[in-house]
Amino acid sequence: MATLKALKIRIGSVKSTQKITKAMKMVAAAKLRRAQEAAEAGRPYAERLETVVASLAAKVASGPGSSPLLAGTGKDQVHLLVVATSDKGLAGAFNTNIARLARRRAQELTAQGKTVKIYTIGRKGRAVLARQFRDNIVHSVEPGDLGKLGFAEARAYADDIIARYQAGEFDVATLFYSHFKSVLTQDPTEQQIIPVALPVTKGDTAGSAVVEYEPSEEAILDDLLPRNIAIQLYRAIRENAASEQGSKMTAMDNATRNAGDLIKRLSIQYNRARQAAITTELVEIISGAEAL
């Protein structure tokens, strides 16, 4: 029976696929916990830095002498989209969602007559965006395993972006990444990083008291602004790492379940075919015996 054999092979192959997806799901779950902890551990720093920058920026009036990282270049003609994704696929719609958000923004900006430049972090985001905006991509980096990426690397990307800003390559930079809400929901997010988008200052305790600054408010701010960009980038990568694993876990869970359904269906088909074969064989034997 050729079909019987074919079915058996098919079931075996689906079973081994299921084994792989199940293992990948388990690996993602283990990595997720670590990535999630890392993303959460990084939050205090980013939050504290943000409040300090906000309270300082409010004091140092954005006059002509203030840092261009804070005040901007006075134009918004050239936009840089920094698209952070991952290098690996098999994570559901994780990479596609981020890239889609960036693509929509790029289309909007182009329609408004602005110049769009794209800076990709991660191979997958680049692959999606290159289809439509190949000539707009100014630089791409491949970070490898997001979970292992340290602050030093994020700092290097940030320094590169700041150097491009100072060279006058663009006026506004926006960062695209996936915000890790929970294992099931990851929101693709965009955040303006240059010039710094300031959060609304909420009842700051330092605001009421007289604070002494060393060396001076401006000097501290000049030191903090580039650092803040590096931190925002680092946070985005951390969030991405957690989102990627969460997304991968869900995707692999679905794949495992689908494989299970498929195995069940194929098994029923296989059993029917086997029984049919037995029945025909019996009928043949009995009718053969009767004929004697």
Interacting residue ranges for another protein, rule: CB under 8 A: 38, 41-42, 44-46, 48-49, 52, 56, 150-151, 154-155, 205-206, 209-215, 219-220, 223-224, 227, 231, 234-235
Q: Which is nearer to another protein, 41 or 268 (CB)?
A: 41
Q: Kindly give, in sequence order, each residue whose CB lies less than 8 Å from that of residue 106, ignoring residues fewer than 6 positions away.
A: 81, 116, 118, 129, 132, 133, 136
Cβ at position 225, least distance to another protein in Å: 12
Report the C-alpha gap between 8 and 17 in whole angstroms: 14
Q: Which is nearer to another protein, 19 or 48 (CB)?
A: 48
Whose structure tokens read 């086997």?
A: 274
Q: Which is nearer to another protein, 155 or 181 (CB)?
A: 155
125: Cα separation from own chain's centroid:
9
Cβ at position 177, least distance to another protein in Å: 16
Cβ at position 45, least distance to another protein in Å: 5
Q: Which is nearer to another protein, 223 or 261 (CB)?
A: 223
Cβ at position 31, least distance to another protein in Å: 17
Cβ at position 212, least distance to another protein in Å: 5
State both tokens at 226: 């580039």
Judge residue 17's burial from the number of C-beta atoms within 10 Å of its C-beta, 0-12 exposed, 13-18 middle, 19 or more buried.
middle
Q: Which is nearer to another protein, 44 or 113 (CB)?
A: 44
Cα atoms found within 13 Å of the Cα of residue 177, Cβ hemisphere only: 26
The pair phi, psi for residue 61, each rounded to 5°, is: -55, 140
Cβ at position 205, least distance to another protein in Å: 6
Q: Which is nearer to another protein, 224 or 259 (CB)?
A: 224
| 76, 79, 122, 134, 136 from 98: Cα distances, Å | 23, 17, 11, 17, 17
